[in-house]
Amino acid sequence: MRRLLAACLMLDCAAYGISQPRTPDPSTIQERYRAIEVNSFEVEAGVDFPPHYFARLQGELIKQLQEKHLFEAVLKPDEQPPRAEMPVLRLTGVVTKFKEGSRAKRYFVGFGAGTSQIFAHARYIDRESGQTVIEAEVIGTLNGGLFGGDTKNVIHQFAASVVTTTQLMLLKKPVAEKAVAVLPASTGNAADAPEQTTLEITHSDLDARQKVLNDLAEKGFRIVRYASTSSKSATITLEKRGDASQEHKYLMMQTQLPGTLQKELNKAAAEGYRLVPHTLGFLKGYFLIAEKGAPAPGVQYEYRLHVTMRVSSAEKNVREDQAQGFVLIDTSQVQNSMHMIVLEREIPRQMPVTLD
């Protein structure tokens, strides 16, 4: 009887994960870095970001990271980790846009009116080597609260978005990225600085904007940055560098259903397209950009895309997909409470079937 009871308990534990601690995956960023250093964020030129908000941001990030227990140690700049051999991940970034919003509109109108938002590009850097490990576009949104919510509370919401992004991106396997949109760094000399241009897009004119984007691609420009500026608009930064003779083409995708977006992305991948990193987001619908360049011989890409309200569900999706050979590419918090993730893996190129 005791043996039978013990066997039943073992089955229950296996079925429900009780008393069965998850074996850490040493290949993930989370297991490689057990300490994080939180640096100040910079503010992009021309962005009117209140100094008193800026002063609170670093402290709020440290506080929320400590409360989340994602790392053994959360450090201030130049603070040493508990063990000398412990690798440290340095968090920094740039605030790219600030929308102050209106507390009165949030209180009296609601439904998204008067929303306060912070947009930023976050970077996670290996402190010893200086190499960038993760990059992410992060948005903090305040659209309510007591009597509409004090606008300064957007700092808390932004920090929460950064922490959520950190939590998900730590599950990524730190493989060498072969992102289609990543170009070599500039030498820093003015004479060598690449020619740069920006393209504003909105949800209502995507077809026209895609044509302009591809006209620029024909001239040798490639996407180096995508930044949301609202739930209906974004800015694309392009640079002209290197061999402009290589042909590239872009495809913008926008749908109301994540499943449809995944199907469209995989269909485009079969035609030689690949997701442009950090273009995942919401543009009056789920949105991303794919790029077609010189294809790798015999290789194409397959994608999994998930949207969920629960971070734990997103983590589960990442672990399951990465166990099948996918790699987490991007994560985005859309509509303030939905978490959108996309994973990618290489597969043999599917040759078209021809009938004699």
The answer to whether 163 and 61 have CB atoms below 8 angstroms apart is: yes
pLDDT classification of 25: cutoffs 50, 70, 90: low
Instruction: Name beta bridge partners: 343.
Output: 304, 328
| 346, burial (CB in 10 Å: exposed 0-12, middle 13-18, buried 19+) | middle
Q: Which residues of 92-112 are buried (b: 16+ CB within 10 A; e: fewer)?
A: bbbbbbbbebebebbbeeeee
CA-closest candidate to residue 94, choices 47, 37, 43: 43
pLDDT classification of 127: cutoffs 50, 70, 90: very high
C-alpha distances in Å from residue 349, one per residue of 272, 302, 303, 344: 9, 10, 14, 14
Through-space distance between the first and last CA atoms of the chain, rounded to whole angstroms: 68
The per-residue pLDDT for 293 is: 85
Q: Are strands 286-292 and 281-282 parallel, antiparallel or unpaired?
A: antiparallel
The per-residue pLDDT for 55 is: 77
Q: How far apart are CA 316 and CA 161, in angstroms?
A: 19
pLDDT beyond 50 at 323: yes
User: Of the segments 14-28, 108-122, 129-143, 181-195, which one has the largest average pLDDT value?
Assistant: 129-143
* CATH architecture, range 25-169: 3-Layer(aba) Sandwich (3.40)
Q: Could you give the residue range(s) of every CATH 3.40.50.10610 domain in the chain? A: 25-169
The per-residue pLDDT for 351 is: 60
User: Of the segments 38-47, 267-276, 291-300, which one has the largest average pLDDT value?
Assistant: 267-276
- pLDDT (average), residues 85-114: 69
C-alpha distances in Å from residue 133, one per residue of 71, 102, 129, 161, 174: 16, 37, 10, 18, 7
Q: At what angle do helices 51-68 and 154-169 cross, to 10 degrees?
A: 40
Angle CA 129–132–135, to nearest 5: 160
CA-closest candidate to residue 165, choices 73, 257, 89, 82: 89
Residue at token pair 């039943």: 8
Whole-number CA gyration radius for the chain: 22
The answer to whether 74 and 58 have CB atoms below 8 angstroms apart is: no
Per-residue pLDDT tens over the stretch 28-47: 898 899 999 999 899 888 88
- pLDDT (average), residues 247-259: 93
Q: Which two tokens stand for residue 146?
A: 């007591």
Q: How far apart are CA 15 and CA 23, in angstroms?
A: 16
The per-residue pLDDT for 152 is: 58
Residue, of 3 and 310, whose pLDDT is higher: 310
Residues 6+ apart with CB under 8 A from 66: 74
Query: The whole model's pTM is what?
Result: 0.78
Per-residue pLDDT tens over the stretch 189-236: 555 667 999 999 999 999 999 999 999 999 999 999 998 888 888 999
pLDDT beyond 90 at 349: no
- Farthest-apart Cα atoms in the chain, separation: 82
